[in-house]
Structure 1
């Protein structure tokens, strides 16, 4: 089922789910009072009723208890965010804040507090001396909140572990890759317009559409953009990339065709901008988080190479999936095979370089990290075609160039040579392998 990008952006806001729970709880409180007034007095025996004074005492106790739970939860969240900021990466705070379980737990606490508070306000004016629905449901809600509080402690304990954070980022990035890229095929069919139509376009000055918003480009509704261009009989080139920061007045699109009466707002609506980057379509952002976690782990102040190795392995998992996708598709046709949208795409070697070029320099100071980089390249090569193997082998030469061979001990050199030999075998380059 396809979800609208606006729903994804709204869903990522920290207040979204707690606000929904709060509104539902207020409505539920009103419904409970209605049930006490018009239902319980007719169908229930006296054994189930609670007098008004006891109901007020229960609701008052529940209200203060849930407010305390909510306060503790917010304090715990701040501790987690401080840990992320100081030890992992500022970008990773978003993952915990937008986690569905974190938002639901806070939603339950806030909803329970509002439910009990509204009931206290409403039963004040009731003329009934006995109540059933309001106090009973409030007690049940309080028991549920206690269970959620225990779960929240467990949840925070898991999220503060860097291994769980790395797994979460990796899973979300891989899901985004599967959602936004088609699988690669061995033989890409020839695009008959590519030889002449793209050259013909360059002879005509395009109409430029400028961004009216400032922020990070989160989502491009490509299918809707193709359909709109087909209706207007236009060719559209996207001049910006996902994750780019747009300033007001920056060129967003170039359009060729009959543009004299074109409504540019129809095209601008397919570009969604936010204050922070997100991995809805932006694959680079997920890779950036993992790279930053690895770099922070290799810093002298933290010095945790095992965390860096975990981050490198996660990068390899993402690159393995990415290498199997059709990353080179830059031209999109409509149902009549007419060119409609041109997109600037990155190649696999660009992603490969982005993942390792920052880690390479501090990584060469630690043999275990350097070995993990070579192993990760071997993992990517093992599950992909000859072209990817060739690209990885050429990139491994770049990694090897940065190694300070003259400062390396004999055992370390033997260990790394074994790794490089396995990589050469995996990439079908045994004849080109030369030990360090």
Structure 2
């Protein structure tokens, strides 16, 4: 708990949160990075024109540069005009490619997966490079027209170098878009993103305790409700810093809305107990990040929801692609396996003096299991391969986790087997499923009689 004594000052924390919020806005707004590249291209074009002027004024430098890099005014205008036109065409093709991918995501996967492609910095980088190259060529073209005193120009060589870079980025874009359309790569990307969010979600788990151990009399303290000043989703809350702030100011803070939930202006978001009437709402709200779009920064369930939706599209009657569903289930098992390692359902976070400072209600691990598989179980209940993959996923989660998680998995397996018993399986299907159920029971340290199909 030594980290609580080395916490950031309120000003440092506010700056860090503002920086994190700005970074999140840049990622979620598709136009920001291309706009920055466009502005940078203008600056680079002005610098290139300055170099052109400097070289033209110093004959010794100009003589030291090979003549192949210089062109006359007419050729310079022709080259720059051709480059700018070509880059505009490539930019148009890029937009068309992006729209094709977005349409594919909407129709084949899930509307929620659009964010993964739009927020991808590589796509924004390619688009920004094309826009920057186009603006760079246009600005240089206007500079060449204005420079009547020069007989030869070096800036077309700069533009040719930019065009070569843009051509390489175009090839990269084709490869990148092809990778993104592959459902396996999309599923892996969502899984990776969610696994990272688990690390953030687990921050401060060592500060948790059980309700029986950490009791407190709140009746003797004054209760104050803190209302949201923004509308959107709670994307991030740093529990460690919030607990340190509560310890320093002798507060007890309860979350009325948890990360991942939507709040509106004046929605109760925190309840604070203290022995003083002086509370600064803004300081407490600085520890939260609220965004208009839902992300998986700390919301594990949102990442799982994306994978579930892709799986449901795969087993839909009009598509009949159970392998996609199986791939999603396997990745969900990875997420739940990691989530179960340090998962604590306790809502209580305490300080270095073992006093409760933050109360944050969280779903139990059983709730995570249910939200992950109940829809897939319902729509894939008659598919042997889908039900087998669910059993295998539960087996993997139980094999690599502690006894408490094994117990949750075992209790959840009754729900899965109950649904399976309502289906009319063929004998061979039943034998195959029972073998998998036996393995699941063994991984939980139980016997399989209670969940065996008869």
User: Structure 1 residues 184 and 236, CA, compared in 2 at 3 Å: closer, same or farther?
Assistant: closer
* Residue of structure 2 in register with 1:372 after alignment: 389
What pairs up with 1:55-204 in 2 under 5 angstroms? 55-182=76-203, 194-197=213-216, 200-202=217-219, 204=221
Q: Please say if residues 32 and 133 of structure 1, whose CA atoms lie closer than 8 Å, have aligned partners that are also in contact.
A: no
* Residue of structure 1 in register with 2:11 after alignment: none
Q: Please say if residues 215 and 274 of structure 1, whose CA atoms lie closer than 8 Å, have aligned partners that are also in contact.
A: yes
User: Structure 1 residues 190 and 155, CA, compared in 2 at 3 Å: closer, same or farther?
Assistant: closer
Q: Secondary structure at the match of 2:225?
A: strand
Among 41, 47, 70, which residue is 1:31 paired with? 47
Q: Deviation digits for residues 119-159 of structure 1, max 9, x if unmatched?
A: 12233222442454421111001011111111111111110
* Residue of structure 1 in register with 2:34 after alignment: 18
Among 332, 338, 348, which residue is 1:331 paired with? 348
The count of corresponding residues between Structure 1 and Structure 2 is 431
Q: What TM-score do the two structures reach when normalised by structure 1?
A: 0.93
Q: Please say if residues 112 and 145 of structure 1, whose CA atoms lie closer than 8 Å, have aligned partners that are also in contact.
A: yes
Q: Please say if residues 236 and 340 of structure 1, whose CA atoms lie closer than 8 Å, have aligned partners that are also in contact.
A: yes
Please report how far the alpha carbon of residue 205 of structure 1 lies from its aligned counterpart in structure 2 after TM superposition.
5.1
User: Structure 1 residues 395 and 434, CA, compared in 2 at 3 Å: closer, same or farther?
Assistant: closer
Q: Please say if residues 324 and 384 of structure 1, whose CA atoms lie closer than 8 Å, have aligned partners that are also in contact.
A: yes
Unaligned 5+ segments in structure 1 are none
Q: Secondary structure at the match of 1:328?
A: coil
Among 389, 402, 424, which residue is 1:407 paired with? 424
Q: Deviation digits for residues 91-114 of structure 1, max 9, x if unmatched?
A: 001101111111111111111111
Q: Please say if residues 209 and 348 of structure 2, whose CA atoms lie closer than 8 Å, have aligned partners that are also in contact.
A: no
User: Structure 1 residues 231 and 165, CA, compared in 2 at 3 Å: closer, same or farther?
Assistant: same
Q: What TM-score do the two structures reach when normalised by structure 2?
A: 0.89
* Residue of structure 1 in register with 2:24 after alignment: 9
Say what the alpha-carbon RMSD is for the aligned residues: 2.3
Q: Deviation digits for residues 143-192 of structure 1, max 9, x if unmatched?
A: 1111111111111111011111000000110011123315978xx99679
Q: Deviation digits for residues 383-417 of structure 1, max 9, x if unmatched?
A: 11122112111111100101245611111111101
Please report how far the alpha carbon of residue 231 of structure 1 lies from its aligned counterpart in structure 2 after TM superposition.
3.7
Q: Secondary structure at the match of 1:139?
A: helix
C-alpha separation between the residues in 1 aligned to 2:325 and 2:372? 12
C-alpha separation between the residues in 2 aligned to 1:337 and 1:190? 9
Q: Please say if residues 49 and 130 of structure 1, whose CA atoms lie closer than 8 Å, have aligned partners that are also in contact.
A: no
Q: Please say if residues 87 and 302 of structure 1, whose CA atoms lie closer than 8 Å, have aligned partners that are also in contact.
A: no
* Residue of structure 2 in register with 1:278 after alignment: 295
Q: Please say if residues 184 and 325 of structure 1, whose CA atoms lie closer than 8 Å, have aligned partners that are also in contact.
A: yes
User: Structure 1 residues 288 and 221, CA, compared in 2 at 3 Å: closer, same or farther?
Assistant: same
C-alpha separation between the residues in 2 aligned to 1:144 and 1:58? 16
C-alpha separation between the residues in 2 aligned to 1:434 and 1:352? 17
What pairs up with 1:261-340 in 2 under 5 angstroms? 261-340=278-357
